[in-house]
Amino acid sequence: MLNKKLLDILVCPVTKGPLVYDREAQELISVAARLAYPIVDDIPDLIESDARTVSEAEAERIRKSQTPR
């Protein structure tokens, strides 16, 4: 699990916007950029080329279910 203070200061490197923590998938998701950054060994990998693309449907589901910090 990521440290709450770390989660509060991390932003998407592409949009500089908020990230949504998906604990189950171990990802930080930028709804605006439609990118999901992996968390490997409790370390967020915020390299754009390492992120997976989030579908519009998945982004909409996240947008509706969670409020960004």
The residue extents of the domains of the chain are: 4-65
CATH of region 4-65: 2.20.25.10
Which two three-digit tokens encode residue 12?
Answer: 């998407």
Q: What is the pLDDT of residue 67?
A: 54
Q: Match 């370390």 to its residue by tokens.
A: 43
Residue predicted with more confidence, 39 or 64: 39
Q: How far apart are the first and last CA of the chain?
A: 17
- Whether 16 has a pLDDT exceeding 60, the answer reads yes
pTM to 2 decimal places: 0.88
Q: 21 pairs with which residues across the strands? A: 28
Q: 18, 3, 13: which is closest to 45 by C-alpha?
A: 13
Q: What is the mean pLDDT of the chain?
A: 92
- Whether 68 has a pLDDT exceeding 70, the answer reads no
- How much is the average pLDDT of 50-56? 97
Q: What is the pLDDT of residue 66?
A: 73
